[in-house]
Amino acid sequence: MQTFATLADFSAHAGQSLGESEYMTVTQEMVQKFAEATGDYQWIHLDEEKAKQFSPYGKTIAHGFLTLSLAPKLMAEIYKIESVKMGINYGANKIRFTGAVPVGSSVRMKAWLHHAETTNPNEGTAGVRAVVECVFEVEGQTKPACIAELISLFFE
């Protein structure tokens, strides 16, 4: 875990690796709950027998957006900015789902601080808009499952 005392320290880290999370296992229960939360009930995610028979993966796979939704949890394992009182998701520049996450496999995230810039400097709510490149790796696979440029706003 990288720890930064201030947003200035964090911003100075632009262009560098922030590190990587621990691996976490994606379970069928997680996939089921995600389907219930989003209404995405495709058989490739939920029907284990049909997936064994027809899927090129031989088993069910996690939703791409489930993989992406692990970003906050995994990012919290990678870095912390001690002075930040609030952080919010701002959006994404680019998201690509480049591989599958078979249920039962383990995923980790590697992150790089692409860049960080001061926002709203004249309104008394100055913060930092940070673009972090996130690569979601599946243990034992060479191709990542997801690559995303995620944007966050941080305020001290």
- Confidence (pLDDT) at 119: 84
Please state which of the ranges 74-88, 91-105, 118-132 shows the lowest mean pLDDT: 118-132
Closest CA to 44 of 30, 58, 23: 58
Which residues on neighbouring strands pair with residue 86, listed in sequence order?
155
Residues 110-156: tens digit of each pLDDT: 999 999 998 876 666 678 999 999 999 999 999 999 999 999 999 98
DSSP 122: T
pLDDT attached to residue 120:
74
Rounded Cα distance between 121 and 101, Å, is: 41
Q: Quickly list H helices, 40-83.
A: 43-46, 48-54, 64-69, 71-78
pTM of the model: 0.92
Chain segment 41-74, per-residue pLDDT in tens: 999 999 999 999 999 999 999 999 999 999 999 9
State how far the Cα of 68 lies from the Cα of 98, in Å rounded to an integer.
12
Q: What does the alpha-carbon distance between residue 24 and residue 62 come to, in Å, rounded to a whole number?
A: 13
